[in-house]
Amino acid sequence: MTSQDRLPQTRHLVTEIPGPKSMAAMARRKEAVSGGLGMAIPVIVSRAHDAIIEDIDGNRIIDLGAGIGVVTVGNSAPRVVKAVQEAVEKFTHTNFTTAPYLGYIEVCEALNRLTPGKFAKKSILQNSGAEAVENAIKIARHYTKRPAVVVFEHAYHGRTNLTMALTAKNLPYKDGFGPFANEIYRMPMPYSYRWLGNPDTIAQDALDMVIHKIEKEVGAHNVAAILIEPVVGEGGFIVPPVGFMPGLQKFATENKIVFIADEVQSGFARTGKMFAVEHEGMEPDMIVSAKGIAGGLPLAAVTARAEIMDSSHVGGLGGTYGGNPIACAAALAVIEMIEEEKLVERAAHVGDILFAALNALKVKYPIIGEVRGRGAMVAIELVHAGTKDPNPEAMAKVIKYCQSKGVLILTAGTYGNVIRFLPPVVITDELLKDALGVLAEGFASL
């Protein structure tokens, strides 16, 4: 494919959204596909390159969601496409625990190098974020010989049985899908915007509260792992106040608890650092990666201190597809792109544009209660003006307006009132500013 074959990075509508072809396909979807699946935008994709999605009616839509934070390096990034094409012609699958291959080893080497922490590390690869989180917990329990897992309010860790238990929000994730796994203990998350205590001492107050609860309600010696998202993703891009996570890790270390950062959404150049924990100079015992790691190919990983990863007996870890060779080739191309094309810095730059534009909107529209996030992981929380009462209705209207104008934006938040921005970090400044202009019109139209 030559660069001429790639979609122009401009917004262009030729029909209403959805157009007639998408509408016809939606009728087929309704007949064929489970009604349990949601949908952010009712169009059928024909192609997507970098930050533009083209639908089957020929509309070009700006993608501010990156497939939920996955195509950080751009959709069908040329280097990823080339790596995948070369890999798929060599072999499609052997299973790494049947007949190993270099790609898997190289991705693990890269993860061990790129994750923060100067200690010896090892990794395993899986297919999805949820599967990797499951493995992280499984390994931490085996290593510590302890049962309990500490998680937080507003957390999202996946949709499998254990990860539903780890996830906070009932609807839509858990309702009616139980019973859930036991030995999961949920702790308060210092959500600055909605914290009822003293805002100046929030990190320490929350830390004291969590440690007290762990000691009195669980017993620190029963805890295998503390699992936390360094930027809370689905829960609404809540950034834990500076000092809270390092304090937690200190407590974990003192009590021989494995400290796990779920960087599935915040990792891999998303926040203006390779991993979001680096904003506080942290070195977690274990990091879970997925999403941005492989440019859209299904791949996830657990990386931890070597002694933790080696505690399992041989054969204790595995899976048929984990670390599939094509996904590994994609990941190696993604890592090369991030490093050579300085995409960590690019994410910080995208974040600067987002923060400037969104803060300007906040001054104008008092229903924007807060602008928050890190790097290219930014959100606005919508409230009723003059209060902090969630305003999901305004959110829905703004999102709908943006869609009708060809801008795809995702939502989030425990109260369903957060608009989140997770664009591919390769998005051009012009395209991002065009999308933010549409967003501003959306607020003006309310």
Q: Which residues bind ligand PLZ (CB under 6 A)?
A: 68, 128-130, 133, 156-159, 229, 233-234, 262, 264-265, 290
DSSP per residue over 75-122, as a string? BT-HHHHHHHHHHHHH-S---TTTS--HHHHHHHHHHHHHSS-SS-EE
Round to the nearest angstrom and report the end-to-end CA distance of the chain: 43
Least distance between ligand PLZ and beta carbon 185 (Å):
18
CA–CA dist 94, 270 (Å, integer) = 32
Closer residue to ligand PLZ in complex, CB, 264/353: 264
Closer residue to ligand PLZ in complex, CB, 421/443: 421
Closer residue to ligand PLZ in complex, CB, 133/348: 133
Least distance between ligand PLZ and beta carbon 331 (Å):
14
Closer residue to ligand PLZ in complex, CB, 267/390: 267
Least distance between ligand PLZ and beta carbon 157 (Å):
5
**CA neighbor of 214 nearest in space, from 248, 238, 168, 173:** 248
Least distance between ligand PLZ and beta carbon 145 (Å):
25
Least distance between ligand PLZ and beta carbon 32 (Å):
20
Closer residue to ligand PLZ in complex, CB, 240/442: 240
Least distance between ligand PLZ and beta carbon 29 (Å):
17
Cα-flanking dihedrals φ and ψ of residue 239, to 5°? -100, 115
Inter-CA distances, 339 with 17, 191, 333, 391, Å? 37, 33, 10, 40
Residues 273/292, Cβ–Cβ less than 8 Å: no
Closer residue to ligand PLZ in complex, CB, 290/338: 290
Residue type, 80: V
Structure token pair of residue 42: 């009712």
**CA neighbor of 169 nearest in space, from 392, 417, 415:** 415
Least distance between ligand PLZ and beta carbon 295 (Å):
14
Closer residue to ligand PLZ in complex, CB, 7/239: 239
Closer residue to ligand PLZ in complex, CB, 158/424: 158
Residue type, 179: P
Q: What is the 3-state secondary structure (H, E, C) of 389-430?
A: CECHHHHHHHHHHHHHCCEECEEECCCCCEEEECCCCCCCHH
By Cβ distance, which residue is nearest to ligand PLZ?
129
In this structure, are strands 286-289 and 300-305 parallel, antiparallel, or unpaired?
Answer: antiparallel
Least distance between ligand PLZ and beta carbon 207 (Å):
21
Residue 432 Ramachandran class (φ > 0 left, ψ -120 to 50 alpha, else beta) = alpha
